[in-house]
Amino acid sequence: MSIVYNSSKKTFSLHTAGTTYQLKIGNLNYVKHLYYGARIPDEDLIYLVRRYDRGFSGNPYDSLKERTFSLDAQPQEFTTQQQGDFRINSIEVQNADGSFSFNGRYVSHQIYKGPFTLHGLPTAFADEQDTVDTLELTIEDSVSKVQVTLLYSVFEEKNIIMRAARVRNGGDGRISLKRIMSLNMDYLNGKDLDLISLPGRYGQERQIERQPLTHHVHKIRSGRGISSHQQNPFIALAERTATEDYGSAYGFALMYSGSFLAEVELDQYDQARLVMGINDRLFSYPVDPGQEFDTPAVLMTYTHKGLTKMSHTYHNFIRSNLNRSKFVRDVRRPVLINTWEAAFFNFDDEKLIEIAKAAKGMGVEMIVMDDGWFGKRDDDNSGLGDWYVNEKKIKCGLTELVRQINDLGMKFGIWFEPEMVSEDSDLFRAHPDWVMEIPGRHAVRSRNQLVLDVGRKEVQDYLIESVNRILDSANIYYVKWDINRAITDLWSNALTADEQGEVSHRYVLGLYRVMDGIIKTHPDIMFEGCAGGGGRFDTAMLTYFVQYWSSDNTKPLDNLKLHYGSSFLYPVCTMGAHVSEASPMVPFETKAAIAMCGTFGYELDATKMKKKEIRACKKMSELYHKYYDLNFFGDYYRLSNPFEQVNLVAWETVSKDRLEALVTVITVNLTVNGPQEYIKCKGLIADQYYQLERDGICLVTASGMALMHGGIPIPREILEFTAFLYHLKATSTGDGSHGSFDE
């Protein structure tokens, strides 16, 4: 059992292979948080929590004359303001009597095997080899009878704890949740912690920022109805001295695709508190007697071995515990060409066949027909919502087009943007009340489109039926599911006036139901997510999509930063990345090497390419397959930071048995007459010899120790933007023989 309850000490110790999380039923039945860190034995860590008479920090009434017990200074598992704890908090509930009190005390708990699941929200599942145990611990306000059950699933071997909260209205009147967080994490000492987040913007998603905690509330949030380009629902808290290889780091990834919030406060006594969950802005959720409300889950991890180790934990978990699609592990994903940057809306069936024929020579295995194939859609001003084939463009019909593509030996993929509607569409003309628009006002337009009220059942049913009809009409192998605007005008014509605070969250729940009805019912189709690039790239989406289009920005040098930032949470196999015509000064080979740090494909007009370029692409497509296992399943190491002034940007993937590796180096700058530079490998076996090859030529045979501590000397007399792919393979010949490096 990874969860140990000590009934005499009233402690719960949640153990993963490398971590322990401890909580305790403490004074007056408040649930205290005692510890999250490196694994320890089953001991009671209450000695860590000291108590003092703190001025202006009140004491619960039933602590009587005891002035040292204040919730304002005690570490807790779930927090509320109305009991004298003035820090950021986990729950704000308006009770049936209008009051805002919630005084949650322990009432019960249960421990069981397997992970928890949530009503209508995605969660992680147990892989075949996993040991997973769950603790459900319930606190209750004895007056309102509102209960909160804290859920903890411990994925022992994976070093992940999944948390969430479930509110149950045990009273006899309607309550209203104004804030309900998935998690509360208290740190007894937070002054040496840095906050790491992934801010960005459209076209520049998931850049990285690291800042020290100071005495105020740090907010990382999206209020855009999608997890957003501007922030990602992931943060890490790391010791100030933590590096890639050393030091403590805590990771928190929220499995939610709508407006979210992470707040971190360094309090007056240098304690830190983190809360994370649904954004409480424009949120107000009524819960009727006997009803429950579930928060989304958070995946949290801890390591004292640095940020790389934290990323590896997430990469392993995302690859094995979120998505059961056969395209995660068992079926190789094909090299694809997408028509968007090749043709935009300007294509027909003949053009698609021409692109497919030309792309075959590039080693492409699948053509994806992007936006523009349906309804009346010649630009982005019309047609969304009309999910039937535009027969002026696809004259032979979809079934026949796919057949012809298949006859060329290619697979076929298709694009949808289900959640949106154009005012110039049959759908809007038939159902103007299905959009989110506040009565008496006009909805905000964005890309000249409106948002469907996806929280509404009829809308969900229409989407499931109309998208499935297309998917079932032809031999479709792949779907790109897009969304191209943020969500505004929170209003549903299906809800009453006092239920409008539910709209934003209901949208997300509705979306998951639609995806269940389309994606989960088509296990043989590979689904990629997209939100004008990476605007809704999150761990909840990865339970549906095996990969996510990282960014509409296909400039290779920008992608170096994008991949670097994203890699803190997301593995290579989830990051959609294509070679395009952007940045003509960068050679195709280099663009391909960078796209191989993602799922690899092309975004260009194959019919316009020169023979030489076609040959170059073919070679790169072959390399993608050659290194597929390393890149998709290996351990990923960031070897240099592209946000710093570096001449070389480098990363490495190492096979799980550590007998093979691929080191990619891109020269982003060449200093005239500069020093010799070296890239030091990571993750190799110290006393194992490796053959270091480039372009099939052995450069040297060297030990793991030499490669990790001496490194690889990178040639200087070269062109800028050259890519070096160094392939390392273990060899038994430790005779020190040297290849072409020997001088």
Q: Which residues are catalytic?
A: 482, 552
* C-alpha span between 505 and 540 (Å, rounded): 14
**Residue 656 CB: number of other CB atoms within 10 A?**
12
Q: Are 133 and 3 in contact (CB under 8 A)?
A: yes
Name beta bridge partners: 416.
481
Q: Applying CB under 6 A, does 545 fall inside the site for ligand DGJ?
A: no
Cite the beta strand spans of 382-435 per DSSP E: 411-416, 420-421
Stretches 92-100, 430-438, 526-534, 644-652: which one binds ligand DGJ (CB under 6 A)? Answer: 526-534
Considering the complex, what minimum distance in angstroms separates the CB of residue 415 from ligand DGJ? 6
| In the complex, minimum distance from the CB of residue 689 to ligand DGJ, in angstroms, rounded to a whole number | 45
DSSP line for 84-129: T--S--SEEEE-TTS------EEEEEEEEES---BTTB------TT
**Rounded CA separation 244/208 (Å):** 14
Pick one of 455, 533, 598, 683: the residue that binds ligand DGJ (CB under 6 A): 533
Interface with ligand DGJ, residue 589, by CB under 6 A: no
Minimum distance of ligand DGJ from residue 594's CB (angstroms):
17
CB of 77 to ligand DGJ, least distance (A): 40
Give the x-and-dash track for 399-418 against ligand DGJ (CB under 6 A): ----------------x---
- Count Cβ neighbours within 10 Å for each residue of 532-571 and write b for 16 or more, e otherwise: bbbbbbbbbbbbbbbbbbbbbbbbbbbbbbbbbbbbbbbb
Q: Is 482 in the site for ligand DGJ (CB under 6 A)?
A: yes
**Choice between 79 and 338, CB closer to ligand DGJ:** 338
CA neighbor of 297 nearest in space, from 253, 329, 236:
253
**Hunting for tokens 């979306």 — which residue is that?**
511
Whether the Cβ atoms of residue 683 and residue 635 lie closer than 8 Å to each other: yes
Location of structure tokens 């290996």: 634
Strand blocks (E) in 619-680: 635-638, 648-654, 660-667, 677-679
Minimum gap (Å) between residue 603 Cβ and ligand DGJ: 8
Enumerate residues 493-522 that contact ligand DGJ by CB under 6 A: none
Type and span of the H or E element at 151 = strand 146-155
Tell whether residue 534 is a contact of ligand DGJ (CB under 6 A): no
- Report in angstroms how near the CB of residue 484 gets to ligand DGJ at its nearest: 5
SS3 for 619?
Answer: helix
Select the span of 92-100, 322-330, 394-402, 527-535 touching ligand DGJ (CB under 6 A): 527-535
Which among 69, 99, 109, 98 has a CA at the least distance from the CA of 85? 69
CB of 351 to ligand DGJ, least distance (A): 16
* Alpha carbon 14 to chain centroid, angstroms: 25
Nearer to ligand DGJ, 225 or 533 (CB): 533
Instruction: Give min distance, CB of 582 to ligand DGJ, in A.
Output: 13
Nearest CB to ligand DGJ, comparing residues 186 and 371: 371
Return the half-sphere exposure (C-beta side, CA atoms, 13 A cut-off) of residue 498: 7
Q: Which is nearer to ligand DGJ, 121 or 352 (CB)?
A: 352
Distance separating alpha carbons of residues 590 and 617, to the nearest angstrom: 11
Nearest to 212 by CA among 189, 191, 187, 235: 191
Task: Give the C-alpha separation, 255 to 120, whole Å.
Answer: 12
484 is a contact residue toward ligand DGJ (CB under 6 A): yes
Q: Which residues in 445-463 are b (16+ Cβ under 10 Å) and which e?
A: eeeebbbbbbbbeebbebb
Residue 265 CA to residue 275 CA, distance in Å, equals 9
Nearest approach, Cβ of 573 to ligand DGJ (angstroms)?
A: 19
Q: Which two tokens stand for residue 465?
A: 């039926």
Give the shortest CB-162-to-ligand DGJ separation in angstroms. 30
Question: Which of 118-126, 424-432, 499-507, 525-533 is the region at the interface with ligand DGJ (rule: CB under 6 A)?
Answer: 525-533
Interface with ligand DGJ, residue 370, by CB under 6 A? yes
**Per-residue mark of binding to ligand DGJ, 326-345 (x: CB under 6 A):** --------------x-----
d(CA 649, CA 299): 30
Query: Stretches 120-128, 418-426, 528-536, 721-729: which one binds ligand DGJ (CB under 6 A)?
Result: 528-536
Shortest spacing between CB 266 and ligand DGJ, in angstroms: 38
Tokens 């949650």 — which residue?
A: 104
| Residue 371 lies near ligand DGJ (rule: CB under 6 A) | yes
The answer to whether residue 552 forms part of the interface with ligand DGJ (CB under 6 A) is yes
Q: Which residue is nearest to ligand DGJ (CB)?
A: 371
Tell the smallest beta-carbon distance from residue 530 to ligand DGJ (Å): 5
Closer to ligand DGJ by Cβ: residue 333 or 456: 333
Q: Is 576 in the site for ligand DGJ (CB under 6 A)?
A: no
The residue within the footprint of ligand DGJ, chosen from 23, 394, 530, 663 (CB under 6 A), is: 530
Q: Are 322 and 274 in contact (CB under 8 A)?
A: no
Q: Which of 106, 549, 636, 721 binds ligand DGJ (CB under 6 A)?
A: 549
Report the C-alpha gap between 51 and 39 in whole angstroms: 25
How far apart, in whole angstroms, are the C-alpha atoms of residue 41 and residue 55? 36
Task: Name the residue among 679, 692, 685, 682 with its Cα closest to residue 658.
Answer: 685
Q: Given the complex with ligand DGJ, which of 530 and 681 has the nearer CB atom?
A: 530
CA distances from 453 to 132, 325, 466 (A): 37, 28, 16
The residue among 373 and 636 lying less far from ligand DGJ, judged by its C-beta, is: 373
Kindly tell me which of 270 and 380 has the beta carbon lying closer to ligand DGJ. 380
Smallest distance, ligand DGJ to C-beta of residue 371, A: 3
Cα–Cα–Cα angle for 562, 567, 573, rounded to 5 degrees: 100
528 touches 545 (CB < 8 A): yes
Size of residue set near ligand DGJ by CB under 6 A: 11
CA distance 482 to 492: 22
Quick note: the x/- pattern for ligand DGJ over 415-454, rule CB under 6 A, is x---------------------------------------
Instruction: Give the contacts of 560 (CB within 8 A, at least 6 positions apart).
Output: 594, 642, 649, 666, 668
Interacting residues toward ligand DGJ by CB under 6 A: 340, 370-371, 415, 482, 484, 530, 532-533, 549, 552
